[in-house]
Chain A
Amino acid sequence: MATPEGKEQTLRVGDSSLTVIQGGSGQPVLVLHEELGDPGWLQWHTELARSRTLMIPQHPGFGKSPQIKWIRNIRDLACFYSRLIREQGLTPIDVIGFSLGGWIAAEMAVNDAKQFRHMVLVGATGIKPPQGEIADLFTVTGRSYLNSSVQDQKGTAEFAKLYGGEHTPEQFEAWEDARAETARIAWSPYMFNPSLPQLLEGVAGLPTLLIWGRQDRIVPLNAGEVYHKSIAGSELMVLDRCGHRPEIEKQAEFSQRLQQFLA
């Protein structure tokens, strides 16, 4: 079977350019990546791309997208992406956000829920967990952070494929760039907006699916429960024996539920 690998393209937003990975066919879906950058084309991308066009922007300052100086916080970035999808004629669009990307999507929904058809947040940051803390990316290495992101490193085939073995200078540099950019926009408070639960209460009528690993060591499940309580009508899907990366740790269940939800 031919793999519909993503193709890289450059879009303009105002004076800035943005690298977007695009692949598949069908109604577009906006995919917002996590704090350590775009992980590359994954199995779940391949499966969803059979019926949908995936648009995966590399956030400004991450990967190949140049840094945009005026973007200083997650709200700025959310407004930037709202402009992108509006100017590309993509609204309303389905959105999937992972970790930091989930926070961006949530801030976009708060600004204007009507720009989305469906919203899927996976292990999203953005809300202070009532118990525990969001794991700190800034006091550990990229490698340590990734290692704690999954519940079972060895048993997660795609994890080993993505992050196993020795790391190249390019990989180290990409993680450092991602950490630096995340620090620029999310240093403190880490990594939440204290007002977000209240703001989300104003998001009405947006079908929302929250996906969390029960053993998430990056964003504790109880933060997901706050998301669930704040967004009326949202569904919280909790995966057992799963950490912060359901899309690779429980890929089959993840893909199946995602496709049902977006259908």
Chain B
Amino acid sequence: MKLRQKYDKGEDPPYPAIDGELYDPLMKRSMTIRARVDSGFSGSLLLGIADYVGLGLQHYEEPENAIAGRLVTGISVPLRASRGVIRLGSEHLECPVYATPLLSKPLLGRQLLKAWVTTLDGPAQTTVIRSEEGSTTRTRGKKE
């Protein structure tokens, strides 16, 4: 798989983003999300509550004592933790999905970034994502 995606120009300077289709763990519901690539976020996907509840992910949560969020100031904040399946191009990957009311724009963090080779092409303002042969990415679709 190899995807190229232009940076989101909603801010100045534009920021790298990845568009994907996010499914609930039973693959019954889905929504298209645009997530900011954020290597400072150690989780997989972080959603605001509107997207999280919109997809019904609150039905498949981990117990509250299993997960805690930590702000850069060191303060702990509660996080809702569920699961989902993200589709990028032809690849599907099961992953934890987190939610907090503090957020409006989804974040894609290191827990997912480790599954692909992600290159930020600054001059072209393009994010390039590719998976390598033999990667641990769980694939249900056909590879490019």
Do the two chains bind? no
